[in-house]
Amino acid sequence: MDLSHVVQLVIQGILSGGVYGLIAVGLSLIFGVMGIINFAHGQMMVMGMYVSYWIFVLLGIDPYLSLAAVAAAIFVLGYFIQASVVNRILDYPEAMQVLPLVAVGLVLENTALLLWGPDHRSPQTALSLETTWIGPIMIDDSRLIAFALAILITVAIFVFLKKTDTGKRIRAASDNRMGALLVGINVNRINNAAFGLGAAATGAAGALLLPLMPVSPNMGHDFTLTAFIVVILGGMGNLMGALVGGLILGVAESTSTLFLPATLKQVVSFSILIVIMLFRPQGLFGGKK
Amino acid sequence: MGKKKIKDKRLDRRTFLKVTGAAGVGVAASTFGVPLLLRAAPEPIRIGSVQPATGPLAVIGVGQRRGNQLAVDYINANGGIKSMGGAKLELLLGDSESKPEVGRSEADRLIREGAVVMTGPFQSGVALAISTLCEQRQVPFVMDVAALDKITAKGHKYTFRVFITVTGLLNGAVKYLKMVTETKKAMPKRAVVTNTADAFGKGMSGGFIKFLKKSGLPIEIVDRVQYPLGIHDLSAEVSRIKAAKPDILFPVSRPGDGIILTRELYKQRVELMGIYGPGSPGWYEPDVIKDLGKLIYYVMINVPWINPNSKVYQQANAAFLKAYKKYLDTNSAYAYTGVLVIADALERAGSTDPDKIVAALKKTHFANHPVVGGPVVFDEKGDNTGALTALIQVQPDPDLLKRVKIVAPKQFAQSDEIVFPAPQLWKR
């Protein structure tokens, strides 16, 4: 086994992990505030990819430049889903909260099928083939940019929640819904904003992934599951935990190909999930129970 | 999805009354001695088509149906089955939903509704089920697409196959590889096989490895990289391919992974003499050609293919394009061929009696079809001895749709030149 091959895999794992982290941050935020698991998360990411694809194909604007617009579009989608569906089911038993969101996921997936058809689409963007070489080690530029932006967005969300008034309201609503209501916070609106923000993060992740992989309507489930594992790994509701969880999962999946057939990649991620559930159910960094 | 053209032909009350009424008038007319010319036109001959029109293979299934229907329309427009008084063909539609058990019950329904010959069904699993059913019901079954060898290995009397077998496909893959390496005097030594870990991917690549070993070519398979169907990222897999230092790559892919694989090979600068697909999709679809641009050039794939030089193809393609705004691809072209072969047998049988149709099918010698291969002639098992694969190579051409070129066999070739070894991906 040659050392540069190992280094290569670790780097690729870290870079992919950053994007996993960003997808999971959205899921973690939504869970942290509402205590709801967004089973339509992957499909929202795919919507982000398609919006970004559309902007690229119709207007010729590179996915990195349209990032803010894509995030805004998916924010609106998330806000709408929260206002129309999720706010109504917040007090339901957990098992009953799952189904409406799975349904939302199916609606999104089939909307994509209707609008863009079943084909795999992968337009070649300006940077999608660019690479940087350090000796024998290749660094994929679009992966590196995706990683850097993912970290940046996560930090920005973190600062937003800590420093701004709206961020503080979101945290208050997350901490104690009744208390927040009593001090005059419009909790429903705050929930809408929080869901929208979580959705925007995953939508942005989608845009960052567009140069890296072909988009097709049915790829959402895989990413919902990945985000799920990452969130459990880092601790439900813990944003920095989600980011670190993403990095760990990325590296584990990537380096597993050294020892295992690639068909067992998913076995690696789910084994991690089982181990964490058994020995540290609150996640590596703790979180909401 | 062309719903106006293709309707589900379940017998409803109105059609029943119309048909029986017409038949009644016909019977009355003939018994009461009305002149021959006034009698009802001959009863249409019903062909049952079971295709995966919904489910994961819907895109292909709908294309297959259209191929079948287009051939039926063609025969009818040219006077129907002349030996049977110009009887028209009628296509009864069944949907396997991509599942064998549904395929069987749909076939059963179509036979009950009067299908005298069956065609379809794209998936080998469905073909096995329908083949057994047709043997019981004594209805000839002419498969347009289905490749598994064992469908025809059971000795069923009523089953015929226009498509190539898996063995035929793999023989083609090795034969063309030999031809390319010998004529270009460039022999790769180390090879990596990649495949999706579904039934098709495993079976096809496993078979190819066996056939390659038997062939005596001095190519060593140094690694086999399998990955799950629907993968989104192949960077780790390509690092592993790179570490194996192959000269050539034999990918068995599914739509979607060809794009990721090629781009990742480019980014990681994996040095290869070329990419040679033993037979799988993911490399020749118009979207893939468009998205990959220069990177897809010089990829070679062994595959059952259309014969764009034939008049039949040109005519059928024009009709297909007009009706459905899509090009007639290999699968649809085989579906088209299936119905033409059935019509040819009916013409010679002059009857819808199953044994007469089978006798006619056994004597089939049908050359006027739109796919690469010799005349359709069935051997004792019912397999088409004329079925051939083509070797296609993607070559530079300003017109996107003309980039996929047949390079072998010679008599079908659209380009005399085969490029091998190919320039490295990043030097184009």
Task: Please name which of B344, B362, B367, B341 lies closest in space to residue B81, comparing C-alpha atoms.
Answer: B344
Confidence of residue B1 (pLDDT cuts 50, 70, 90): very low
Chain A residues whose CB is inside 8 A of the B266 CB are 129
Cα(B219)–Cα(B203) distance, rounded to whole angstroms?
20
Strand order in the sheet with B89-95: B89-95, B45-51, B115-120, B141-143, B159-161
Chain A residues whose CB is inside 8 A of the B228 CB are 262-263, 265-266
Chain B residues whose CB is inside 8 A of the A227 CB are none
CA angle B340, B342, B348 (to 5 degrees): 105
Structure tokens at B52: 């995966």
Is the Cα dihedral A59, A63, A65, A69 positive or negative?
positive
B5 at interface of A, judged by CB pairs closer than 8 A: no
For residue B411, the 8-state DSSP code is G
In a domain, B313, yes or no: yes
B61: containing domain:
41-164+308-362
Residues B239 and B225 in one domain: yes
Q: Do A120 and B225 touch (CB under 8 A)?
A: no
Q: What is the CA radius of gyration of chain A?
A: 19
For residue A225, the 8-state DSSP code is H
Nearest beta carbon to residue B291 from set A123, A222, A258 = A123
Cβ atoms B64, B103 nearer than 8 A: no
Residues B66 and B182 in one domain: no
Q: Give me the number of domains chain B comprises.
A: 3
Best of A2, A6, A124 to mutate (most B CBs within 10 Å, chain B)? A124
- pLDDT, residue B2, reads 42
In a domain, B379, yes or no: no
Q: Do A140 and B267 touch (CB under 8 A)?
A: yes
Place of tokens 């427009």: B77
- pLDDT, residue B11, reads 56
Cα(B204)–Cα(B169) distance, rounded to whole angstroms?
9
Cβ atoms B272, B249 nearer than 8 A: yes
Please tell me which residue of chain A has the smallest CA distance to B287: A121
Can you give the three-state secondary structure of B54-83, one letter per residue? CCCCHHHHHHHHHHHHHHHHHHHHCCCEHH
Task: Please name which of A75, A102, A98, A205 lies closest in space to residue B232, comparing C-alpha atoms.
Answer: A205
Q: Does residue B367 carry a pLDDT above 90? A: yes
- pLDDT, residue A289, reads 46
H/E element holding B111? helix B100-112
3-state SS assignment for residue B379: coil
Chain B residues whose CB is inside 8 A of the A16 CB are 233, 235
Cα(B173)–Cα(B164) distance, rounded to whole angstroms?
13
- What values do phi and psi take at A65, rounded to 5? -80, -30
Distance from CA of A9 to the nearest CA of B (A): 6
Domain boundaries, chain A: 3-131+141-223
In a domain, B354, yes or no: yes
The contacts of residue B415 (CB under 8 Å, 6+ apart) are B393, B395, B405, B406, B407
Task: Please name which of B395, B189, B389, B179 lies closest in space to residue B284, comparing C-alpha atoms.
Answer: B395
Please tell me which residue of chain A has the smallest CA distance to B262: A129
Cβ atoms B364, B379 nearer than 8 A: no
Cβ atoms A190, A161 nearer than 8 A: no
B391 at interface of A, judged by CB pairs closer than 8 A: no
Distance from CA of A43 to the nearest CA of B (A): 15
Confidence of residue B98 (pLDDT cuts 50, 70, 90): confident
A123 at interface of B, judged by CB pairs closer than 8 A: yes
Structure tokens at B82: 């002349």
Residues B318 and B272 in one domain: no
Residues B73 and B22 in one domain: no
- What values do phi and psi take at B101, rounded to 5? -65, -35
How many CB atoms are closer than 10 A to CB B155?
10
3-state SS assignment for residue B373: strand
CA angle B378, B380, B383 (to 5 degrees): 45
Cα(B152)–Cα(B163) distance, rounded to whole angstroms?
12
In a domain, B372, yes or no: no
Distance from CA of A6 to the nearest CA of B (A): 9
For B337, what's the count of Cα atoms within 13 Å in the CB-facing half-sphere?
A: 38
Cα(A240)–Cα(A24) distance, rounded to whole angstroms?
10
H/E element holding B227? strand B220-227
Ranges under pLDDT 70 in chain A: 1, 287-289
3-state helix, strand, coil in chain B (%, to 5): 45, 20, 35
Residues B272 and B413 in one domain: yes
- pLDDT, residue B391, reads 96
Is the Cα dihedral A27, A33, A37, A42 positive or negative?
negative
- pLDDT, residue B282, reads 87
Nearest beta carbon to residue B268 from set A120, A138, A219 = A138
Ordered alpha helix ranges (H), B228-353: 235-243, 257-267, 286-292, 311-324, 330-349
Average pLDDT over residues B19-43: 55
Lowest mean pLDDT among B37-46, B193-202, B237-246: B37-46
Residues B275 and B394 in one domain: yes
Q: Do B256 and A265 touch (CB under 8 A)?
A: no
Task: Please name which of B91, B90, B92, B85 lies closest in space to residue B41, comparing C-alpha atoms.
Answer: B85
Cβ atoms A36, A269 nearer than 8 A: no
H/E element holding B272? none
Distance from CA of B56 to the nearest CA of A (A): 9
A142 at interface of B, judged by CB pairs closer than 8 A: no
In a domain, B140, yes or no: yes
Q: Does residue B130 carry a pLDDT above 60? A: yes
- pLDDT, residue B30, reads 47
Residues B219 and B319 in one domain: no
Q: Does residue B144 carry a pLDDT above 90? A: yes
In a domain, B56, yes or no: yes
Please tell me which residue of chain B has the smallest CA distance to A130: B267
Residues B176 and B287 in one domain: yes
A140 at interface of B, judged by CB pairs closer than 8 A: yes
Residues shown for chain B: 428
Phi-psi region of B248 (alpha: psi -120 to 50; beta: other; left: phi over 0): beta
Residues B186 and B292 in one domain: yes
Is the Cα dihedral A235, A240, A243, A247 positive or negative?
negative
Cβ atoms A132, A139 nearer than 8 A: yes
In a domain, B374, yes or no: no
- pLDDT, residue B362, reads 96
Distance from CA of B303 to the nearest CA of A (A): 21
- pLDDT, residue B33, reads 46
Surface of B (83-122) touching A: CB under 8 A: none
Q: Does residue B10 carry a pLDDT above 70? A: no
In a domain, B298, yes or no: yes
Chain B residues whose CB is inside 8 A of the A265 CB are 227-228, 236
Task: Please name which of B86, B66, B106, B69 lies closest in space to residue B346, comparing C-alpha atoms.
Answer: B86
Ordered alpha helix ranges (H), B56-198: 58-77, 100-112, 124-137, 166-183
A5 at interface of B, judged by CB pairs closer than 8 A: yes
Q: Does residue B32 carry a pLDDT above 90? A: no
CA A122 from centroid of its chain's CA atoms: 20
The better pLDDT of the pair B348, A236 is held by B348
Distance from CA of A49 to the nearest CA of B (A): 13
Is the Cα dihedral A110, A114, A116, A117 positive or negative?
positive
Whether a cis peptide bond, with omega within 30° of 0, leads into A214 is no
- pLDDT, residue A262, reads 72
Q: Does residue B344 carry a pLDDT above 90? A: yes
B232 at interface of A, judged by CB pairs closer than 8 A: yes
Q: Does residue B29 carry a pLDDT above 80? A: no
Q: Euclidean distance between the first and final Cα of chain A, in Å? A: 42
Chain B residues whose CB is inside 8 A of the A128 CB are 263
Residues B201 and B260 in one domain: yes
Residues B240 and B354 in one domain: no
Structure tokens at B16: 């029943």
Cβ atoms B89, B76 nearer than 8 A: yes
Structure tokens at B368: 């006027």
Q: Do A262 and B267 touch (CB under 8 A)?
A: no
Cα(B307)–Cα(B304) distance, rounded to whole angstroms?
10
Place of tokens 């060809």: B258
- What values do phi and psi take at B48, rounded to 5? -90, 130
Q: Does residue B3 carry a pLDDT above 50? A: no
A96 at interface of B, judged by CB pairs closer than 8 A: no
CATH code assigned at B319: 3.40.50.2300
Interface contacts (A, B; CB < 8 Å): 90
Place of tokens 């380009």: B415
Chain B residues whose CB is inside 8 A of the A5 CB are 239-240, 242-243
Global pTM reads 0.82
Residues B254 and B145 in one domain: no
Distance from CA of B313 to the nearest CA of A (A): 25
